[in-house]
Structure formats: C-alpha cells, structure tokens
C-alpha cells in the first residue's frame, strides 16, 4: 500500500524524505511526491513511476524547506498519474494519505458546491479541501484537522504540513498504521519503523483514532475523543541499514535463501533446545479446555492457516474453523465465547485480517496473532503475540515469512497436542526433533536450485498451470499457484487432487502443466491415480516428491526429489520448491519479481 513519511528537520529535508520513501518501496507504488514548507510557503514536487524519477525532478527544481512530507502512492482512486500523486495541496495545506476515504464522493460534491476546485481524481483531495475551508473560516490548524477527520469515513493514515507554519506537522490514523519518530530537535512521522530507522530508533505507534500535533520540540497526542493521551515509546527493531539484497538479484531470492537461518531463529524462540520441548513464551491459553480454534488470514498467510488446520485436528484433536478474513469479517459467524481466534499476518496491518480480529474480539474470543512485525496493529490488538523471527520481508511475494509462520504454527499444534493428551512426551521430542531438521533439509533443496531454473523455462511458456495436493500438501499446492500467478502473471490454480475428476480434469491437455505436490505418505497412492488420469490425457506432470523410486516408476515430464522428512514437517519442506519454481519462471519472463504489477506488500485497505 501507500507509504507516508514526514520530517520536522534542522536542515533541508527533501533528500531525507526520498531516502525514507526508498525504505517503503517494498509496499508497492506507482508514483511519488514530496512537499516542504519554507518561510511559510508550501512547495511540491511529484513524479510518476519510481523514486528515481522524483529525484531527477528535485535536481531540476530543488525544495529547500526544513519541514516536509513525502508519499509513495499505490493507486486506489484515480489513475497512477503525476496529477494524482501525493502530496495534494492548496496554498494553505499539504496532505499525504494512506487508505481509502469511502464517502469521498459525497464530500467532494459538497465541497465543490462550496467553491472548492479539485485538481485530481483521488479520494484524498477531499481532506485537503476540508482542512483548507476550516482554515479559511479562521480555525487553528489542529482544530481544522479535527473537524475534517470527523467528516471522514474509511481508513486513513495522514501527515499534514501548513502554509505559514515552518515548525508544525500533524498526523492522524484510523485503520492504517502511522508511527511517530523521536529525534534530537527533530520529529518524524512514518508508515512504519523501517522508514524512520535512518533517523531514529525511538518510535511510538499511534492507536486508531489518534491525532498528533508535532513541533521540533513537542508532541501532543489526542485520542478519538480529543482527550490528551500518552502512547508508549519503544525501541524499534528495524535496522538502520537499508535492507539490501546481499549477493542476490532480488529480495525474493535473498529471502528464499534466508529460510534455513530464520526458521532456526524462530525455532529457538519456541523450543527448549536442551530438552526438545515446545515452550510458547507469554501464551496463557489452556488448550486442554479450549472448545475450538478459529483461524483467519489472507493470501499466503491463509494457506499457512490451512496447513495448521490439518495439524491441530490430527495431532491435538482440536476442532478448527478457518476462513479468509475478507469473508469472515462480514459473515457474522456465531462464536462460542472463550474460544481462541488465531490471526496470521506477515505485516500485521492487513485490513481484512484486522477487521476480523475486531469482530472476534466482540465475540469474546481470546485473540492470538502470528506476526512478523511486533509493533504492528494486529499485534498490539492481540492478547497473545506469536512472533515469526523472519526479519523484514521486502519482496511482495511472501516466502520466508510463510515458512516461519508454519514453524510457529507447528510448535503451537505440538503444544496443543501435549496439553490435550494426544502427544506423549516422547512424541513431542520426536516431532520437535523433526522440526529442528528442517533448516538442514531446506539448505539441501536450495543447493539444487539449478534444477528449478530449467523447468521454469518450460513453465514460462504456459498459459495455465494446475497445482495438485492432498492432505497438508493441498495448501502447499494453493500456495504454489499463488506464488506463480502473483509474480509471473501466468494463470495458475491450486486444487485438492481428489477434486480433479469433479471438473478441473477438463482443463488437461499437453499445454497445461500439472505440478503435483506429493510426499510419499499415506495419500501418495491416491495421488498417483490422479497423475495417471492426467498422463492418460497427455498432461505434462511436474512431480515434487520425496521418494525417488516412486518418481521413477511414473513417467513424468520432470520431478524433484526432496529430502525424506516426517509427514508432520513436509509442508515446510515442500513450500520451497514451489517458491523456487515461481521465482525462476518470473525471472525468465522478466517481470518485476520484488514488486509485481498491481500488488502491494501490505494490503491496508479492503
Ligand atoms: C503473498 O505472497 C501475497 N503477497 C499476499 O497474499 C499476502 O500473503 C497477503 O496479502 C497477506 O499479507 P499479510 O501476511 O501481511 O497479512
């Protein structure tokens, strides 16, 4: 989604604003802009496309102000043009916004009737005119902003500077994240701590409804009722170093290769390595008496939840309901009070997931969240936080966060099984031991990465690709299809292999590759039958399995033999080949692997 940054500095800020926006590029964008105020006069510079275009513009037309705001825009309302790029402004106020103003059409009509002249197609511009009209009516800046916020419906994080005020910046949030950065005689605003890391590690995340008025030496936060509040200042974990690609061509490649390391870090957080026991820090849910778990998430995080459903039901005999958050938030599902609602989110800011969390809170559920950003909104609204220690994930396509989510969920399922009397002490040690093997197994798969490059070239010429899996491999088939489609733009579908005969087999011919995710487990023979049905119709099969003999016994176009692991841990292992297939296909096709078209890293609007 959009990225926001603001600086009340002690020197010209335009360059620092752009540097901070670079740290938000991972969120996805299609235009960018900055605005500064110098001797009370507002200036602005914007450009379509990447930040380098904005930098070129600034070289031609430098902005000298020591206070300013910046924005990377991911177009929601209005085409990705320079005119629609933020900041939006009048001579009185400049605004940058992340979110969606749902009632902007009615507001725009009313404002135009009152004489406002709109320049853009965006929803954001109504904020500019609401504030400007209040200022013209004599309101002080903070009052003007408060009156504007009362009119807005929808989600926003905004940063505002004012004509005539060189030492004033106001920020507000409702549904989209916004953080204050505390500097030395400087103050900052940003969408997240990563943007602020070059300036400060003292960060305070605003709560929904908060509005903050900043000068270089003062911070005044008010809650949605206008009451002064204090919010906790924390030490940000975000590194001051620009997250870089190391010796990899893309962030996605780097993050795929980081998986052995970050899975190890995550395991160390949840496993007593001296006893091979699972220990979940700061988690007081009594699984023994828990009636059910409700899991909700979006995209790849949802597929991690689907895998966890198999684990909780098989190893803990615990009923699980799971749904994508965009459906769950509106379903009005009846929920027995006292259940556990578990949310999975890399960013911790996904609007649909957050909205579902709030619904489950109203339904008196215990709230736990598996998140990669501890300071995120979803984390802060949870009773229990289960962090993934994946480190910043920059590639829009989630990889290391996914396998770290699986790692956390596997530990949780073991804990649940132990507390509910379905996993003995010996079994716990064995399953934990299997988890501890995963980093080594993944390293071996990565060592054979070249195998995936060749196959990717074949996939790259496909129009449609089918992914099949059974049991806990079915969510991995879904994930593989998502990875391929979101970075290579090839249409791909994941299906439960047993569903093939109920329709999808009509798709099969020699032009539709079928990727089969099939460890040699109790369902393998059933899946072989499906593969035979595909082969009989000329379908090309790419088999991902852990049994070389099985693979040889079946004439496949290609197969990848993975290290033999335990059926419990196979989903973590089989996630890696489908990531590599998608990555190398996209590289071959020349798409923007780290920032695929139309996508954003964190979907903070619904
Ligand atoms: C994953 O590759 C996708 N980029 C997307 O589906 C993502 O998983 C989804 O938007 C959820 O994001 P979250 O984990 O930050 O909540």
* CA 605 to centroid of ligand 1, rounded, Å: 13
Regarding the beta carbon of 372 and ligand 1, being less than 6 Å apart is answered no
* CA 401 to centroid of ligand 1, rounded, Å: 9
Ligand 1 atom with the smallest distance to the CA of 486 is 2
Is the model's pLDDT at 274 over the cut of 80?
A: no
Which numeric CATH code is attached to 443-589? 3.40.50.10490
What's the predicted TM-score (pTM) here? 0.77
Residues 356-370 have a mean pLDDT of: 97
Q: List the structure tokens of 128.
A: 């500019």
* Nearest protein Cα to ligand 1, atom 4: 397
**pLDDT tier for residue 242 given thresholds of 50, 70 and 90:** low
Ligand 1 atom with the smallest distance to the CA of 483 is 2
**pLDDT tier for residue 600 given thresholds of 50, 70 and 90:** confident
Distance CA 423, CA 238 (A): 38
Which numeric CATH code is attached to 254-436? 3.40.50.10490
Distance CA 425, CA 429 (A): 6
**Domain 3-247, CATH homologous superfamily name and number:** Aminohydrolase, N-terminal nucleophile (Ntn) domain (3.60.20.10)
Reported residue count of the chain is: 606
Residues 160, 152 contacting (CB under 8 angstroms)? no
Regarding the beta carbon of 373 and ligand 1, being less than 6 Å apart is answered no
* CA 65 to centroid of ligand 1, rounded, Å: 37
One fold for both 3-247 and 254-436?
Answer: no
Regarding the beta carbon of 603 and ligand 1, being less than 6 Å apart is answered yes
* CA 602 to centroid of ligand 1, rounded, Å: 7
Regarding the beta carbon of 298 and ligand 1, being less than 6 Å apart is answered yes
Distance CA 195, CA 384 (A): 26
Regarding the beta carbon of 386 and ligand 1, being less than 6 Å apart is answered no
* pLDDT digit string, tens, across residues 305-333: 999 999 999 999 999 999 999 999 999 99
Residues 547, 581 contacting (CB under 8 angstroms)? no
Task: For the chain, give the percent of residues with pLDDT over 90.
Answer: 74
Q: List the structure tokens of 129.
A: 């005119």
**Strands 271-272 and 202-205: what pairing?**
unpaired
* pLDDT digit string, tens, across residues 379-417: 999 999 999 989 889 999 999 999 999 999 999 999 999
Tell me the best of 300, 349, 482 to mutate to test the pocket of ligand 1, counting ligand atoms within 8 Å of each CB and taking the most.
Answer: 300
Task: For the chain, give the percent of residues with pLDDT over 70.
Answer: 97
Angle at alpha carbon of residue 42, lines to 39 and 44, rounded to 5°: 135
Is the model's pLDDT at 240 over the cut of 60?
A: no
The three-class DSSP label of residue 212 is strand
Regarding the beta carbon of 299 and ligand 1, being less than 6 Å apart is answered yes
Regarding the beta carbon of 146 and ligand 1, being less than 6 Å apart is answered no
Where do the structural domains in the chain lie, given as residue ranges? 3-247, 254-436, 443-589
- List, by residue number, the catalytic residues: 2, 601
Ligand 1 atom with the smallest distance to the CA of 350 is 16
Regarding the beta carbon of 346 and ligand 1, being less than 6 Å apart is answered yes
Residue keyed to tokens 């504030």: 131
Distance CA 29, CA 123 (A): 17
């Amino acid at each position: 989604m959009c990225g926001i940054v603001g600086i009340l500095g002690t020197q010209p800020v335009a360059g620092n604003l752009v540097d901070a926006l670079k740290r938000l590029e991972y969120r996805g964008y299609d235009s960018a802009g900055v605005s500064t105020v110098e001797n009370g006069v507002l200036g602005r510079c914007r450009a379509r496309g990447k930040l380098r275009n904005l930098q070129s513009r600034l070289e031609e037309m430098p902005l000298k102000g020591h206070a300013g705001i910046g924005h990377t825009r991911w177009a929601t309302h209005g085409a990705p043009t320079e005119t629609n790029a933020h900041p939006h402004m009048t001579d009185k106020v400049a605004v940058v916004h992340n979110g969606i103003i749902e009632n902007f059409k009615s507001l725009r009509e009313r404002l135009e009737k009152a004489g406002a002249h709109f320049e853009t197609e965006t929803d954001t511009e109504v904020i500019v005119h609401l504030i400007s009209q209040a200022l013209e009516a004599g309101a002080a800046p903070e009052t003007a902003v408060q009156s504007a916020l009362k009119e807005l419906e929808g989600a926003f994080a905004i940063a505002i500077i004012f004509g005539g005020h060189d030492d004033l910046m106001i920020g507000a949030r409702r549904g989209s994240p916004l953080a204050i950065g505390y500097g030395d005689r400087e103050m900052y605003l940003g969408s997240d701590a990563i943007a602020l890391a070059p300036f400060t590690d003292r960060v305070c995340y605003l709560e929904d409804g908060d509005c903050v008025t900043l000068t270089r030496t003062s911070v005044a936060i008010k809650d949605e009722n206008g009451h002064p509040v204090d919010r906790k200042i924390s030490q940000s974990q975000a590194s001051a170093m620009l997250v870089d690609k190391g010796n990899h061509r893309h962030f996605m490649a780097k993050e795929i290769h980081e998986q052995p390391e970050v899975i190890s870090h995550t395991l160390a957080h949840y496993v007593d390595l001296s006893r091979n026991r699972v220990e979940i820090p700061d988690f007081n849910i009594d699984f023994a008496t828990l009636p059910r778990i409700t899991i909700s998430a979006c995209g790849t995080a949802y597929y991690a939840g689907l895998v966890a459903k198999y684990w909780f039901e098989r190893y803990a005999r615990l009923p699980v309901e799971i749904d994508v958050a965009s459906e769950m938030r509106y379903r009005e599902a009846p929920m027995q009070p006292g259940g556990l609602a578990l949310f999975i989110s890399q960013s911790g800011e996904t609007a649909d997931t957050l909205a579902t969390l709030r619904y489950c809170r109203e339904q008196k559920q215990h709230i736990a969240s598996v998140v990669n950003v501890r300071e995120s909104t979803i984390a802060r609204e949870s009773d229990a936080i289960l962090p993934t220690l994946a480190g910043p994930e920059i590639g829009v396509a989630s990889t290391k966060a996914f396998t770290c989510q699986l790692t956390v969920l596997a530990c949780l399922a073991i804990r649940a099984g132990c507390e509910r009397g379905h996993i003995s002490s010996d079994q716990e040690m064995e399953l934990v031991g299997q988890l501890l093997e995963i980093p080594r197994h993944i390293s071996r798969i990565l060592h054979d990465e070249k195998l995936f490059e060749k196959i990717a070239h074949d996939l790259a010429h496909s129009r449609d690709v089918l992914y099949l899996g059974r049991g806990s491999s079915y969510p991995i088939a879904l994930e593989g299809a998502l990875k391929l489609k979101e970075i290579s733009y090839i249409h791909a579908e994941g299906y439960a292999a047993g569903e093939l005969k109920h329709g999808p087999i009509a798709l099969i011919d020699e032009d539709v590759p079928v990727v089969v995710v099939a460890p040699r487990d109790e369902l393998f023979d059933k899946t072989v039958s499906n593969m035979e049905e595909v082969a009989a119709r000329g379908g090309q099969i790419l088999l991902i399995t852990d049994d070389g003999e099985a693979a040889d016994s079946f004439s496949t176009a290609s197969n990848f033999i993975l290290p033999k692991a335990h059926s419990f841990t196979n989903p973590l292992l089989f996630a890696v080949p489908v990531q590599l297939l998608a990555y190398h296909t996209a590289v071959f096709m020349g798409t923007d692997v780290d920032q695929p078209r139309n996508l954003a890293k964190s979907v903070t609007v619904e």
